[in-house]
Structure 1
Amino acid sequence: MIRGKERFITQLYILVDFIFIQISFFIAWFSRFYLIDNEQLGSYLPLSSYFLWNLVYSIIYILIAFVIGLYVPKRKAKFAIEIAKIFQAHLFSLFVLLSILFTVKNIDISRLFLVIYFILGVLSAVIYRYIVKQSLRSLRSKGFNRQFVLILGAGSIGKRYMRNLMKHPEYGLEVIGFLDDYRTEYCSDDYFQKQILGKLNTLDKILNERVVDEVVVALPLTAFTKYQQIIMICEKAGVRVSIVPDFYDILPASPHFEKFGDLPIINVRDVPLDEFVNRILKRAFDIAFSLLAIILTSPLLLMIAIGVKLTSPGPILFKQERVGLNRRTFNMYKFRSMNYMPELVSNTEWTVENDPRRTKFGTFLRKTSLDELPQFFNVLKGDMSVVGPRPERPYFVEQFKEEVPKYMIKHQVSPGITGWAQVCGLRGDTSIENRIEHDIYYIENWTLLFDVKIILKTIVNGFMNKNAY
């Protein structure tokens, strides 16, 4: 039904995006100037000027969406990634439009209109694309719009690839069989024996006789000399080629390729925040959110400061050295919850249940996590992020990096006030190994929406923590 038209469908997104931007424009215009305040209509540019700039915005959006890969086929991609790209495309388009308006000194545009226009543009794109994606996945899981895959290599990697496809029928990918030169050695399983169509030298024949959309090379490194011939045969037949590396088992979950000059390089871990655009987005979000949090909680901050001062002698704030981004140390702020003690003791002793060093007011602060509020100032300084792996003291970092494999990976991103591990219940006296697994998942799967999800879960779950001592 849809087979062979994926490129057309992808290009159709351009037209639909353009249409939805126009719909968003007229709804935003009507909402701003007729539903909210029609008396202000005369003080702004006429509808024709607004519509002209809307067309400029639409063109900018489509160009940016092309550049960031929003119009490429994404059958196996996560929808969260698509949402992030939609948001990026609209945000950058808005910045470019505002820059143009400032340059041509045409700034009589309602800011409220722009906010409504932007929100409607993002929401409409996300909603309609979600509906389309879910509809296509439903059709694929029922056998429509299938794509057929031929796997070269029936060893452990080839079998694992096939099992992964079988777990995701919504991708619409069907394995038609394997090609392998050593069928008896690798395939004692009768099921896989029946799936073997022949040896590697029959690839040309299979591609001519069968419908094949993609060839997946899952061969051992000992067969590396055959790769070039395999790729030439596939490209001659117009079939896509993917390679599953033989060192798959030793790589992390999300390796990716980079270009260094004309050399392809495998980066063993894909960190989305390594990209400049993502770092800018996260930093802008951190600044806006932390400023808002400080303003809204300022009365509470004052009350806690007075409470700390009245209940025990010593400073209001407690500064402690922590390890942050790229293993650099910084001073993390907290409201003091313990009796004043030498810095060496606080930096090397673990807090335990019924810790005698805590004050009564400090126990309340720790249980409710209110002692963490000053860390929003760390976020403004750039030492921390709102969301990220929790930072640890240098003394314990030195211990954990020897005891817990991959512990130091958490320092590839900025530490956070809250994180994926924390909202999943891994706070206080819990498994360091489980925390690191969650931190690495966050690092490899970061999106701005993931940050928002973690913040919402932090709020919904509440700040009470039974493991906080």
Structure 2
Amino acid sequence: MLRMEGLLARTLDVALVFAGAVVASQIRFDAVMKEDFYDLFIVLSAAFTLALFPAFGIYESWRGRSKPGLAGQVALAWLLVQLCGVMVMFSMHRLDIVSRLWFAYWTAVSGALLIVSRLFIHLVLGHVRSAGMNLHQVAIVGGGPHCNAVIRRVAASPASGFRVAAAFNVVPSTGSLSARVPTFADRAAFQRYIRTQQIHELWLALPLSQEPMILDFVNEFRDELINIRFMPDLHSVVLFDSGVIDLIGMHAINLAASPLPQHAVLQKDIFDRLFAAAALIGLAPVLLSVALAVKLSSPGPVLFRQKRKGADGRVFTIYKFRSMRVHAEEAGTLTQAKRHDPRITRVGAFLRRTSLDELPQFFNVLRGDMSVVGPRPHALEHDDQYSKLVSGYMQRYRIKPGITGWAQVNGYRGETDRLEKMEGRIACDLYYLGNWSFALDMRIIVATIFKGLIHRNAY
């Protein structure tokens, strides 16, 4: 059944790739197709779709997982497919005779069809599951507030298709579990219930200290067709990647490490490079105009260069358009820009207020030093100062710093003249690290465009 569903999903994707191309041709040429090499381009993209979509987990089960996350995965995979198609057509010396407008229409239409079709299918499945069909029965082992939180989350997500059928309270002293779920105190009776009531999932909502019980339940049901999932209570851990990684041939769980798994880092990096390249090409006239304005505004270089820390603390040189008059700072000190700072030129004030001074950082993104979205990098002097004052400060360097971030779209910009401002900024950065998704990145980019470019704290 799963193989048939996967085959149907792949067939639908190929059909939507072709359908988008036909719609684009009707819009651009008022014809089904213009030349034979357009057919070749479409076939190449269809083939790359079949090859690359599985690598992004698009054909895996998304039951209970984020649908915006699925949409983001499809969008990123489709952009990569089109990039691969463009590279092949370029190598065959056919790209220069392909209509760019047609290609843009095709990419947009097929991308929209691929995303909307999946969201529609999941919407239908959600209604079916909410009506009590296509359900996965879940048994939970746990106790205390964490176990109750898992039960409440399942109850609040009926469209996920999970239903809690029973629970085993391992620590009755912490209080009873949800009254809506049949609770067992006898372990043998609980295990017998799982085997006789067609339970599909066994969730172990236990703390790390319960290793013996975790192993007991895994050994008890490892030879049966029941999905066993560990949902640990890690309330005291700041960062946690719930995925299990392979490290020197052994399984490891990240407790304090990069919160993004390797495949997510790769996807984010691909998107960053594509976005940065497109931004630099599209904004080239703006970049040249700003560079000329900076050069004429005051003596000195066009670009401001400063050392900042990147992922894992690696130091790199950040680029900005110079907004201040050239001046010297004492060694080991750095004076933040203040409102009505006399060092800022008239052109520089406009650039800082509109965030145009940040545009050269797309070169940092293209070089791999930065990401489009991530924690903003601070000057090295500020890293030394605040790492001793703000808990979790250095955790923000687990991933690449960004041109924009969750802190910036939530108002934490400009001067940090009070410790509370920096603490608020770091709290936002840690939230981003713990809740990263491609959909969150898109949300931050859109928020930056509409409300984050100009801000009263940008001076």
TM-score normalised by length of structure 1? 0.82
Partners of 1:303 and 1:251 in 2: CA distance? 45
Partners of 1:253 and 1:263 in 2: CA distance? 18
**CA deviations over 1:2-49 (Å, ceiling 9, x no partner):** xxx77765554233223322322332344444359x8xx4xx32xxx7
Q: Which residue of 1 aligns with 2:226?
A: 239
Q: Which deviates more from structure 2 when the two are superposed, residues 355-364 or residues 290-299?
A: 355-364
Q: Against the structure 1 CA distance between its residues 382 and 260, is the aligned structure 2 distance closer, same or farther, given a 3 Å change threshold?
A: closer
Q: Which deviates more from structure 2 when the two are superposed, residues 244-253 or residues 289-298?
A: 244-253
Counterpart of 1:93, as a letter, is V
Q: What is the SS of the residue equivalent to 1:255?
A: strand
Q: Which deviates more from structure 2 when the two are superposed, residues 89-98 or residues 249-258?
A: 89-98
Counterpart selection for 1:407 from 368, 389, 393: 393
Question: Following superposition of structure 1 onto structure 2, how do residues 28-427 of structure 1 map, counting pairs within 5 Å?
Answer: 28-34=24-30, 41=34, 44-45=35-36, 51=39, 54-55=42-43, 57-97=45-85, 110-112=98-100, 113-183=102-172, 185-188=173-176, 191-192=178-179, 195-221=182-208, 223-247=210-234, 249-250=236-237, 252=239, 254-268=241-255, 269-271=258-260, 275-306=265-296, 308-309=297-298, 317-344=303-330, 347-359=333-345, 362-427=348-413
Q: What is the SS of the residue equivalent to 2:192?
A: helix
Residue segments in structure 1 that go unaligned for 5+ positions in a row = none
Q: What is the SS of the residue equivalent to 1:148?
A: strand
Q: Against the structure 1 CA distance between its residues 374 and 108, is the aligned structure 2 distance closer, same or farther, given a 3 Å change threshold?
A: closer
Partners of 2:347 and 2:94 in 1: CA distance? 56
Q: What is the SS of the residue equivalent to 1:225?
A: helix
Answer whether contact 1:293 1:376 (CA < 8 A) is retained. no
Counterpart of 1:110, as a letter, is V
**CA deviations over 1:128-172 (Å, ceiling 9, x no partner):** 112222333344345443322111122333222212223333323
Partners of 2:15 and 2:126 in 1: CA distance? 24
Instruction: Count residues in correspondence.
Output: 451
The CA deviation at 1:216 is 0.6
The CA deviation at 1:361 is 5.0
Over the matched positions of the two proteins, sequence identity in percent amounts to 28
Partners of 2:11 and 2:148 in 1: CA distance? 40
Answer whether contact 1:218 1:246 (CA < 8 A) is retained. yes
Q: Against the structure 1 CA distance between its residues 8 and 270, is the aligned structure 2 distance closer, same or farther, given a 3 Å change threshold?
A: farther
Partners of 2:248 and 2:447 in 1: CA distance? 43
Q: Against the structure 1 CA distance between its residues 388 and 128, is the aligned structure 2 distance closer, same or farther, given a 3 Å change threshold?
A: same
Q: Against the structure 1 CA distance between its residues 405 and 60, is the aligned structure 2 distance closer, same or farther, given a 3 Å change threshold?
A: same
Counterpart of 2:231, as a letter, is V
The CA deviation at 1:214 is 0.8
Q: Against the structure 1 CA distance between its residues 15 and 371, is the aligned structure 2 distance closer, same or farther, given a 3 Å change threshold?
A: closer
Partners of 1:398 and 1:260 in 2: CA distance? 32
Counterpart of 1:252, as a letter, is L
Answer whether contact 1:187 1:193 (CA < 8 A) is retained. no
TM-score normalised by length of structure 2? 0.83
Counterpart of 2:157, as a letter, is H
Answer whether contact 1:10 1:73 (CA < 8 A) is retained. no
